[in-house]
Amino acid sequence: MCAVTTPSSKDAETSKALRGRQPQSANLVIFGAAGDLTKRLVVPALYHLAQSGKLPNQFAIIGIDIDQQTSEQWRQNLTNMMQTLTPVGRIEATAWSWLTDRMHYMPADFTQSETFRHLEEMLKQNKFVNVLFYLAVGEQFFAPIIEHLGQAGLTQQSGGAWRRVIVEKPFGHDLVSARALNTQILKVLSEDQIYRIDHFLGKEPVQNILVLRFANGIFEPLWNRDHVDHVQITAAETVGVEGRGRFYEKTGALRDMVPNHLFQLLAMIGMEPPISFDADAVRAKKTELFQAIHTISPENAVRGQYDGGVVLGRKVVDYRHEPNVALDSTTETYVALKLGIDNWRWAGVPFYLRTGKRLSARTTEIAVQFRQAPYALFRDTPVERLPANILTLRIQPDEGLSVGFSAKRPGSEIEIDGVEMDFAYRDYFEPLAAVGYETLIYDCLIGDATLFQRADTVEAAWRAVQGLLDSWARDIAKDFPNYAAGGAGPDTADRLLARDGRVWLPIRANHPHTAIRP
């Protein structure tokens, strides 16, 4: 493969049309300014945007949180954090001071109305009429903050000014709560003011799936039940619950990863081509896909919880001995599902999804396995089996894709081997300094909601898993812990595929070809 380094003028026009709009002057108000998300992701993403000149010159950041600190202390804390994230001395002083000069901190309780009156005063101090509110707070604060914003008149858009709100995950913990949250926030905001984040859509290789499918002529004709045997979607993690035991106990792997992150991958792979890259055109197709998912029966679902073991050479405890986890916890830390999609493109093609904590390697990938070629031609030859054609899209950490196909081993006999063509992002593109939130924040600033969840999309996703949530709540797991930390998950997950005569692809962090490169 060879990289196209000089785009034609038509390519340049297309990419300009898709990206490259300069945001208008704006205030960014971060609720939860002293929290982890702000420190680890939002501020580093803003810094990267500042570095690449993607933020408007007339830009101000107001951070709000309960912690008593001055603007100077807030900036200093963030500087310390950035220094731990970036190799020492690598923070680019110009971009960082450009950003910190625009940062102000307001110690306040965002459950109190007076906070919003003060905020209004602060917003009046500059002339930037546009405001992006970022709710980097616990889910219990989403609706109350939006209500307060509404009561204070801060969500009113007039005279061409815009007011937008970014809502973080989790958006509800089941269908009923997601619906209730939508109803509450839609009393204050119109749908086009709400940007529901799923950070998986901030990952470049996820965004690339649409380009792979729809900007290339070779894949789409094969992208259907006539040619695809099945699809595997894996999000394997080596981490445990990382001190989030209290949150995780109420959540579990199914809620935490499936109707959001894994479904975003599913949507990118399975959706019909939208008529344009317009946000609603794309989101309508995703929603339709989620609506076409069959009810998931417990027979098509596997849950697991990790026992102690060794992960990446380090001994780790079982889930039940993690902080803030009950000693008899029945929360699942692993889930595997077989999904069916009821439409013309995918009827009869199983989509196997799995995600788990404390597995042998960290990897997120999608494998599209194509149907076997008819064997007839090789009947009278020594060929015993034909390797499957698998298109593997590696989302992280080793971003790229590979295509596996059959080749004749050189020699006088007909011997067939499985070989691979591989594309790794790092071989073609300069790595971007990014934490994955850059595109998402930038898109909010320019008003492009394509990568965000619409109310009906979120509800359709919850609806698809609700039956399983209910049946697992009724029928408590009795065999936990049922997989060793550092392994590939419970044996029952293997049986889920074995039943259909299939096997999971190995969980591996690096593609064998790219791993050996210097």
Please identify every residue annotated as catalytic: 261
Instruction: For CA atoms 211, 214, 219, 222, give the dihedral sign.
Output: positive
Half-sphere exposure at residue 474, Cβ-oriented, CA atoms within 13 angstroms: 7
Could you tell me how many residues of this chain bind ligand BG6 (CB under 6 A)? 4
Compute the CA torsion angle 328, 331, 336, 339 (nearest 10 deg). Answer: 130
Closest to ligand BG6 by CB, 253 or 292: 253
Residues 6+ apart with CB under 8 A from 381: 414
**Nearest Cα residue to 393 out of 202, 204, 254, 198:** 204
| Site pattern 407..436 for ligand BG6 (x: CB under 6 A) | ------------------------------
Closest to ligand BG6 by CB, 241 or 493: 241
Closest to ligand BG6 by CB, 229 or 322: 322
CB of 437 to ligand BG6, least distance (A): 11
3-class state of residue 1 by DSSP: coil
Residues 6+ apart with CB under 8 A from 265: 200, 206, 209, 233, 235, 364, 366, 395
**CA–CA distance, 18 with 303 (Å, rounded to integer):** 41
Fill in the amino acid letter for 264: Q
Is residue 298 a contact partner of residue 471, using CB atoms and an 8 Å limit?
yes
CB of 442 to ligand BG6, least distance (A): 18
Fill in the amino acid letter for 58: Q
3-class state of residue 173 by DSSP: coil
Closest to ligand BG6 by CB, 300 or 364: 364
CB of 319 to ligand BG6, least distance (A): 13
**CA–CA distance, 445 with 465 (Å, rounded to integer):** 32
Closest to ligand BG6 by CB, 130 or 364: 364
DSSP state, residue 293: B
CB of 13 to ligand BG6, least distance (A): 33
**Nearest Cα residue to 299 out of 334, 253, 338, 350:** 338
Closest to ligand BG6 by CB, 224 or 396: 396
Helices (H), 168-276: 175-186, 204-214, 245-257, 263-270
Residue ranges in 117-176 that form contacts with ligand BG6 under rule CB under 6 A = 169
CB of 440 to ligand BG6, least distance (A): 12
CB of 504 to ligand BG6, least distance (A): 19
Residue ranges in 211-270 that form contacts with ligand BG6 under rule CB under 6 A = 237, 256
Is residue 282 a contact partner of residue 274, using CB atoms and an 8 Å limit?
yes
**CA–CA distance, 77 with 171 (Å, rounded to integer):** 29
**CA–CA distance, 349 with 342 (Å, rounded to integer):** 9
Packed helices 455-474 and 279-291: angle between N→C axes, nearest 10 degrees: 20
CB of 364 to ligand BG6, least distance (A): 6
Closest to ligand BG6 by CB, 188 or 458: 458
- Closest-by-Cβ residue to ligand BG6 is 256
322 is a contact residue toward ligand BG6 (CB under 6 A): no
Residue ranges in 350-389 that form contacts with ligand BG6 under rule CB under 6 A = 364
* Binding-site ranges for ligand BG6 (CB under 6 A): 169, 237, 256, 364
